[in-house]
Amino acid sequence: MDCPDTTTMHVIARIHTGFPTKFGIPRQSGLVKTWGRIVFEPDYRNPDMLRGIEEYSHLWILWGFSEVEGKSWHPTVRPPRLGGNQRVGVFATRSPFRPNAIGLSCVELAGVDLDGQEGPVLHVRGADMMEGTPIYDIKPYLAYVDSIPGARGGFADRVKDYSLQVECPECWREKIPEEERETLFQILSQDPRPSYQNDPGRIYGMEYAGMEVKFRVQGRQLEVCEITKEE
């Protein structure tokens, strides 16, 4: 029996996060304790589908890189953490530009709301997804099989400790809601800039949790230049 060359996947839910655009989203799940709400599509708002999920601490999320659908991909890519200059195979990276624009993330399950107006909602932490990202599947994370002691991480192991020192003057710090302050600084410390941009005089801007944050980077230091609340 021949297997089909294509298949159909259904969007079962969408995640709501503090990232209206992809700029600034952590490059891997779990790096920053960003919040997210997974809201199911009407056809999948059956509480029975979540029965027992509260017993797990973490979940695997299979989702779509909606911002790159239909765009071309190449056999090799330039990972940001290698400075954007060195090429490696697309299947040796987690680049969104791949034959099938599918992402995989491990998130912490922070809560389950079965009785809200939006139907069953999963509250998660550590999501690396943009507002409205489509979700195709959810599976429990099983530490005894999903965590492999001593597994090698390729080039990612060599650059995993890269971070910037974040400097934020008090006049801007006080504009950040207290519950978002630590998360925002963690996001900035991961260096949100595109890998090919390294102009110390350039002012960058990113949106997060209803704020527009402007910053510049010189060496390994990031300075927050302005924070404004979005209308």
Q: What percent of the chain has pLDDT over 90?
A: 62
Write down the domain spans for the chain. 13-146, 163-229
pLDDT in tens, 155-181: 787 777 788 999 999 999 999 999 999
pLDDT in tens, 27-36: 888 889 999 9
Q: Are strands 102-113 and 88-89 parallel, antiparallel or unpaired?
A: unpaired
Residue that is written with structure tokens 């999948």 in the block: 44
CATH topology assigned to domain 13-146? Elongation Factor Tu (Ef-tu); domain 3 (2.40.30)
CATH architecture of 163-229: 2-Layer Sandwich (3.30)
Q: Are strands 133-140 and 13-16 parallel, antiparallel or unpaired?
A: antiparallel
Q: Decide whether 13-146 matches 163-229 in CATH topology.
A: no
pTM: 0.88
Residue 1: pLDDT band by 50, 70, 90 thresholds?
A: low
More confident residue, 84 or 193: 193
Q: Is the dihedral of CA 109, 16, 32, 182 positive or negative?
A: negative
Residue 116's Cα: distance from chain center in Å? Answer: 25
pLDDT in tens, 75-128: 998 877 776 678 889 998 888 888 888 999 999 999 999 988 888 999 999 999
DSSP state of 143: H
The residue-averaged pLDDT of 211-227 equals 95
